[in-house]
Structure formats: structure tokens, C-alpha cells
């Protein structure tokens, strides 16, 4: 991830974080459109889940931006997701839903450069989560 991509990520996240619940609810709506089979994995309060998503994503992205690599917390999240039954191929839909949500929220502000930065960030986060999940089995 380049320094300019890391800066774009930070700037975007600073704009997105004030509305965590709404962002998370949009994301999950899109995720379940892409893969309805994921919905049974999510129990309980949708608003709480949406807030947890944004908190986890914030931690993952800010660590990636600051340190240039995924954190131990991201690896632990990958292990937990394995326990929930998440398969490696399902990370693609998660990434697609995340990208769609940013595009919806940012409109024209979701430039090709920003899209590429988010794709790279998600690629690194997902790879770290999958690797940790595989190592834990």
C-alpha cells in the first residue's frame, strides 16, 4: 500500500466514521443482497452489529494506515469469523459490499484512486484474516 493510498484511506474514514450505524446498516443490507446465505450467521440487534462492524473496520484501517500492515486484532477477528463459519470465498462478497457502501456514501468523491486504495486495504485485511483462520485450524 502506497503512502498516498494510506492518506486517502485516513481521509475517507474521517469523513465516514461520524455515521457508524447508518454505514453499517447499508453495508449489511448490500452484503445480504450479494449473499443471502450469510444472513443466518448474524444474530441479535442489527444496529449493534452495524456499530461493531464500523468499530472493527476503523481499528483495522487505522492500524493499516499507521503501521502499513494488518494488526493482531485483525488476525484475531479472522479466527473468530472462522468459528462463525465464514469461508474464504465469502470474503469477496464482504469486500464488494464494503466497496459498494463507500461508493454509495461518497458518490462522486469515491474516485478511481480511492476505490483502488480501498481495494488494496481490503485485500490486505482479508488476507490477514484468512491466514490467521487457516493457522488456527
The x, y and z cell numbers of residue 2, run together, are 502506497
Which pLDDT tens digit goes with each residue over 70-124?
888 889 999 999 988 899 999 999 999 999 999 998 899 999 999 999 999 999 9
The x, y and z cell numbers of residue 103, run together, are 461508493
At 56 the three-state DSSP class reads helix
Domain count, the chain: 1
Q: Are the CB atoms for 13 and 117 separated by under 8 Å? A: no
CATH number at residue 93: 1.10.490.10
Cα–Cα distance measured from residue 69 to residue 64, given in angstroms and rounded to the nearest whole number:
5
Give the pTM: 0.88
Which pLDDT tens digit goes with each residue over 112-124?
999 999 999 999 9
Q: Are the CB atoms for 57 and 77 separated by under 8 Å? A: no
The residue segments making up the domain with residue 56 are 3-135
Amino acid at each position: 500500500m502506497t503512502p498516498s493510498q494510506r492518506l486517502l484511506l485516513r481521509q475517507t474514514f474521517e469523513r465516514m466514521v461520524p455515521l457508524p450505524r447508518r454505514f453499517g446498516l447499508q453495508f449489511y443490507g448490500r452484503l445480504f443482497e450479494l449473499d443471502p446465505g450469510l444472513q443466518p450467521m448474524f444474530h441479535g440487534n442489527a444496529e449493534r452489529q452495524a456499530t461493531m462492524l464500523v468499530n472493527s473496520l476503523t481499528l483495522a484501517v487505522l492500524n493499516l494506515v499507521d503501521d502499513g500492515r494488518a494488526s493482531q486484532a485483525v488476525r484475531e477477528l479472522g479466527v473468530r469469523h472462522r468459528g462463525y463459519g465464514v469461508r474464504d470465498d465469502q470474503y469477496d462478497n464482504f469486500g464488494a459490499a464494503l466497496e459498494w457502501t463507500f461508493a454509495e456514501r461518497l458518490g462522486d468523491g469515491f474516485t478511481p484512486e480511492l476505490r483502488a486504495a480501498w481495494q488494496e486495504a481490503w485485500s490486505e485485511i482479508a488476507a490477514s484474516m484468512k491466514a490467521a483462520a487457516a493457522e488456527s485450524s
